[in-house]
Structure 1
């Protein structure tokens, strides 16, 4: 409770009860003043002089019922009241509450003890009622003021729903558009908007609904009921509901069909002008011909940071940025000379705290009797943020142009008809243009390329725009302005407007002429190298067979005639010959990769793995390892190459890691048109520094030099992988070991 004295009027016919109630209240409440009367007559006399903070009234009094002191409606009550009765019943309680009582209690020992809390509760409830009444009254007064302003406003005023339907219009609006109020309420904003301005209006309303803007001020054409067009300057603002969400729009429309109507507007009644002047959202001022401030509104004070009194002692140059003072003076000379009645310009203002703000200034002259301006009326809109955004956009555009002109790629963009809208310097040079702007408005047929090249480019443009999908890495020829026949790697993507419609394309290309020549040379070199490897391997393999055979014959037939050293030499000849033969076999396989036909039927990888495991059964058994095969997908690829992959990877795992105790796992999965295979072991693993080299021909690593193998198997796996659009790599197996992974592209899916 607050510290003010609580004046309580107790209306109680029983002196005994009154004394007991006094005792309870004075002991349970602080700072109370209790006045006791015994009947209705005394109570009415007391109430005629002043109302208490609270009245405690006995239901039955010597001269009538206590509820006769109540107004019969709680909303009409001037003071809070609690009704007490000796015996409680529902009818009495209902009668008391209908009469306007805040509470109803039955006298009892428990009630008397709780009476201070009942009083406090009643006072709190009364405080809420009083505050609500005040708020409702303030709301009524505010609505009445708004209604008066709305109805009397000189501008067309309207309240619109969020979808643009008119909910309320003022008489000025009706006169402006020629509709009755009832007719206007059947319309929406687009129906009274000129067709040429409907799209802009729809866009502005969308921006406000999306929360990007709360107030917009713009000019557009309207359609009157008779079909005639008028120009209006509209100010549209969001009206927020109690929940803080947009609930409607408030619009003000000024008829600007005749700019000279500003003179008549200046002669409007002082009251109307004062209302607009003082409540305008933009800064408004009146100035003497010498530039002295005569009047300023609150919005202008907030914009510039000065108080009204301070501004009335200043002149325009004193709050104008030094660099803008001469231009400002020149603008006012136009008004002073009569050559213009209204000027519009942008300038910088000096704020009281030293900050600099930008304003869009509109100044109109009010002519005097001698045809010289009597005073000026100025409207200043804060465009500081808009100017900052414009500067950022300009800087961003400059930076973008700098980047475009110095990146090595050629960049261009076209409209829906494949007409060039712009390009960077590299593209302009390739097209034979001195500057990028010289390309604007031209088509591919106007440039240096061949006719068939231009046809191809434009057909590609049409595909991209029609499908609304990019086309990337288009390899195409081009005859450039320099006479160079180039090869290009081109990318084209569709361009969209704010509505998501395709409005053109953006293209980039890179001159890959040298790269293509290098690739062709590399292909030819690889072809020659493969042929050389095949020939050498074949020619070397021919004499190896008799060498190995003769060594075996000598071992068998001359065993009794040769000493131990000679027999060891023959065994070494046979062993080294077989190693050389295995190496040549692997080289032949490596040379053949890339020359086999691609199949059209899918290969069951599960069957390929089973065959590979069967082929290596003796090796696996000798190593004493366990193999685990997980399900594998199908893949369109030559079975012989798949067999090579699994033979090499499983063989490596058995030879180098099979005796470490863990199982060798084989599996795979499909992801789109990619199939990923793996062979996992739990052996000693491969050092990080060797993982990138083990797929090189003849590289075997420091830890494997004494192990069997030729150093060609993993190189064969990598070559097969790359041939089919994939790769091979090795990772560490969690817990120790190596996991070899192979990624292959399904050639049928890729073709599709």
Structure 2
């Protein structure tokens, strides 16, 4: 028994030893295990924890024993842990595995995978729970880092302005950034995953276009960078969208192709801006104005083509220059406008002068603007060449000054004309009133007593008419309505008559008047006689008027001739005071006079201007040369044609008509004029001669009288109220009996064209107001064949006066002497003859008239003849007749 007992005891000891070893071994395994192990009571308290667990959570074993595991569990994991632990303890589950977080003693969280088993006692009741914890903290941190990096990458891709996508080798989308998804019309970036281009683009051609581009990059394994191309699909409103596209093959570390990365940038705005910049650049380069950009130091950094062309420098030369090199007004290191003022004002426009490479000065207008970019200041100058504008301004200023000069000249002219017109008007009105007063006091006073008054009125009227004709002639010239009226005439006779006219005024001033005529001058020419006469009278008259001593000479020379057509030269030279060089430009200006002319208080200032215009019409040009104090020479030429001997009426005027001859019809004449004075003048001229005369105030009355009275001749005014003369004439001439009525137009028009107008209206002839009586009567003779009894037929004055004029054409010596052997002046006392001689020598018309008035009535023919000489300004004949024997 003892033996058995010993054996049993030994077995027990062996079992205890084995158990102890087993427990030690289990304890070693528990604490040395690499994973955390914890024994937890059914109430959730730690009963035992191994070293790995303590190290993992940073607590000691003593800290953890009797500590509820929930106290170090993450709050978010607490509910699920308690739920699973409760199910385990109540044996609803045998075990559970959770990923949970524990709070480390240092405060951070550690991650682990917990597998929890239920431990039972021998009766099968829950004893405790055994938890095995695998530390996955490092993995979780790596995973978190990866997620953070992915999120960062996502944020990076979503916030860059470019559009980014990536595809696998099958060209299936694996992702894109937000901008690409928006551009593709997708809800989110994730929605592109797994799609192809055919899923995104309804147009298969567009999808295939993109896939083909991707394939080329994948196959070539070569990036396609920054390809600028328009988007296949237009943007909103049909706007063309431009993209900068880069395709990059994605390779792994071994160089295998994993897919393709695409980067797109919408460059539409920059493309449009670039296009605008190119257009702006083109516009600036092609601008007529030149553009200069300078920095704050005045150095050029941009110039356009116009700057190079106008300034003559190349672009490279200008870009090495500064403002002061071309603009002398520029301040050192800048423009003439200070940078402070330019900065404050923003822009200035001013004028300056620029110099070209050759040194030529250019007037310019500069618009200088201030620019600031990248904290640097610039000046942009748009420069306009204003040389033409300056010349225009100068021309306008000169025109303004010329207009002001012309205005002053016209004012002076009006002042002179006021004097010139009032002088004859004063005589006309004065002597008319004098005659009215005398007739009032003595109604029976003989008309002869008013002879001198009438002569003065007549001469004053003639002078007044000449003044008015000058003004009208000038107005016609300015209106461009003057035309040539060439005829065949005797040039030698014209020159002879001019000498006769002007010799006496010259001799009265003790001046010589010479005519030097070239022997080759043709006798007859075809030209405008009236205009040539007026030109010569103007020039010779001025020469005589302004010459105090010496003389005046007219030279006539033959110029170039081709067959019968050629040129005549005329030259008028005087020994007068000459013309100041400063007044030469005003010489031919209308309404202007030189100082000498103004001092003379004579003339209208139109003579030389009219002369110049007439000479121009006749195909010539007038020139003048003068030396102060020595005289003046006027030269001009005209174009003429040689002509055969002109047919001229050599018969003298039959004299003054005093009555109709016998055995003639009773001529009926109708006078039509809306002006009572004009009508009465014609009526009082025709009635005393024996005509039957009636009056009408307008064309309507004239037609009524014509139909009832049937006049032989109608004097028709053309401008009247109710019905004018043009319409009345046309209505009369429309009838057969109207063709037999002679209609003579009476008009005050100064225009030569008026004659053709009235003749085209149906008038038979044309008489211009004011008219001479003999002109009016000769018109009646011309159309009606009327015969008059003339005053000369009764007085036979021509038989008592033998006046002869001889002409020697061979030597062109013109003799104006008068044979006075048959003039009997013995009836006049010697004092009268002496008084008449002195009056004629002094050219005093009033004294001449006073002396003639003393001749007794029985010697009326003699008095009439002497009066006629005085009225015709033939003072030379009067001097010869009365000079002492």
TM-score normalized by the length of structure 1: 0.34
Say which one has the larger Rg. 2
Structure scoring higher RCO (CA < 8 A, sep ≥ 6) equals 2
TM-score normalized by the length of structure 2: 0.30
